[in-house]
Amino acid sequence: MTATTTATAPPSPADLATISTYVESRSAILCPADKHYLFEARLRPVMRKHGLADLRDLASKLRMNANPSLGEDVVDAMTTNETSWFRDIHPFESLRTTILPELMAAKHNRSLTIWSAASSTGQELYSLAMMIDLQMPELHGWDVRLHGTDLSREVIAQAKAGRYSALEVNRGLPAQYLARYMVRDGAHYVVSENLRRKASWDRLNFVAPWPPLPRFDVVLCRNVLIYFDMDVRAKILRKIRDTIVPGGYLLLGSSETSIGDVEGFQRLVIGRTTVYRKEHR
Ligand SMILES: C[S@@+](CC[C@H](N)C(=O)[O-])C[C@H]1O[C@@H](n2cnc3c(N)ncnc32)[C@H](O)[C@@H]1O
């Protein structure tokens, strides 16, 4: 018997343009032509799941716009979910040594609300929860609410479950935190129930209507604005600004030190971190 192979046709420039326009219009994630090589690898599992032969087939289904679940899967697959525990460490240090103590001194209701916007699989928010629990006993007895959101269904499901592979755990989680806050489950580790209870998770696409949100004392919006163009960045930053209480803080990724001409923030350098404090108006 001879093995049969299914011939797949290479996508045309128009097919590639259809896919990138589709992703950009729904997520604002830019997929320029020199990044089209990503499509094949990232979208292969989506094509398999939806029984599509190749990118041409996929592009033609997207043009018909008849399958919302295919569209969601395509956008989800094109997100970059790279993250780690205590990523870039300095923002966590600034929060611990300066920002949270300052906010505590100014708050009379003993409550703090923190948002990890574009949280990916949750390591950023759980790192914060662990740090507060272990290193900030002065916050014990406070009502600390942690909220994480992301565009991607898959990463939010994982964040909610708080379940990580050994490989994921090895990316930056110090041994003392692992021992204290993670429960082994076969080959995986699960964030302890105690910490998971402090966090809530939701899907939020920056460029679609936002679900209702509380006011935040601190917003972390790290390593995501780089995927958008300048206008989209500014629009998102203005919307985020409006969720922050006066005197509250915005923290960006370590390579994202500028908020352009977005008004209403004061730029401060704390230790080795640039942060933005919302002005009192
Ligand atoms: C590189 S991860 C950053 C995770 C974490 N903040 C960190 O710094 O480690 C970027 C995240 O942004 C999310 N994202 C991309 N476009 C988005 C959009 N339009 N709205 C909300 N989240 C988006 C992706 O799904 C991804 O999980």
Write down which residue in 26, 50, 77 finishes a domain. Answer: 77
Looking at the domain assignment, is residue 4 inside a domain? no
Q: What is the pLDDT of residues 122-162, one digit of tens each?
A: 999 999 999 999 999 999 999 999 999 999 999 999 999 99
For residue 256, what pLDDT band results from cuts at 50, 70 and 90?
confident
150 Cα–ligand 1 center, Å:
6
116 Cα–ligand 1 center, Å:
10
Same domain? For 111 and 248 the reply is yes
181 Cα–ligand 1 center, Å:
24
C-alpha 204/C-alpha 156 separation (Å) is 10
217 Cα–ligand 1 center, Å:
20
The pLDDT, as a whole number, for residue 281 is: 77
Same domain? For 55 and 178 the reply is no
β-bridge mates for residue 182, sequence order: 191
Same domain? For 120 and 215 the reply is yes
Same domain? For 141 and 247 the reply is yes
Q: 161 CB less than 6 Å from ligand 1? A: no
Q: Which protein residue's CA is at the shortest distance from atom 10 of ligand 1?
A: 224
Write down which residue in 47, 77, 107 finishes a domain. Answer: 77
Percent of the chain clearing pLDDT 70 (strictly above): 97
Q: Which protein residue's CA is at the shortest distance from atom 12 of ligand 1?
A: 118
Same domain? For 124 and 207 the reply is yes
Q: 28 CB less than 6 Å from ligand 1? A: yes
Domain with 127, as residue range(s), is: 90-278
Percent of the chain clearing pLDDT 90 (strictly above): 90
Task: Quote the pTM value.
Answer: 0.95
Same domain? For 37 and 156 the reply is no
Q: 121 CB less than 6 Å from ligand 1? A: no
Ligand 1 nearest-atom number relative to CA 155:
27
Same domain? For 35 and 123 the reply is no
> Span 247-251, mean pLDDT?
98
Looking at the domain assignment, is residue 148 inside a domain? yes
Looking at the domain assignment, is residue 193 inside a domain? yes
Looking at the domain assignment, is residue 274 inside a domain? yes
Write down which residue in 55, 77, 99 finishes a domain. Answer: 77
Looking at the domain assignment, is residue 182 inside a domain? yes
Q: Which protein residue's CA is at the shortest distance from atom 11 of ligand 1?
A: 118
Same domain? For 63 and 143 the reply is no
- On the question of pLDDT at 251 being above 80, the answer is yes
For residue 2, what pLDDT band results from cuts at 50, 70 and 90?
very low
Looking at the domain assignment, is residue 82 inside a domain? no
Same domain? For 67 and 122 the reply is no
Per-residue burial over 170-181, b if 16 or more Cβ lie within 10 Å, else e, is: eebbeeebeeeb
254 Cα–ligand 1 center, Å:
15
263 Cα–ligand 1 center, Å:
23
CATH number at 272 reads 3.40.50.150
Same domain? For 151 and 255 the reply is yes
Q: What is the pLDDT of residues 3-53, one digit of tens each?
A: 444 567 789 999 999 999 999 999 999 998 888 889 999 999 999 999 999
Same domain? For 267 and 148 the reply is yes
Same domain? For 233 and 264 the reply is yes
For ligand 1, mutation pick of 75, 120, 210 (most atoms within 8 Å of CB): 120
The structural domain count of the chain equals: 2
The pLDDT, as a whole number, for residue 10 is: 86
The pLDDT, as a whole number, for residue 33 is: 86
Looking at the domain assignment, is residue 258 inside a domain? yes
Looking at the domain assignment, is residue 265 inside a domain? yes
- On the question of pLDDT at 114 being above 60, the answer is yes
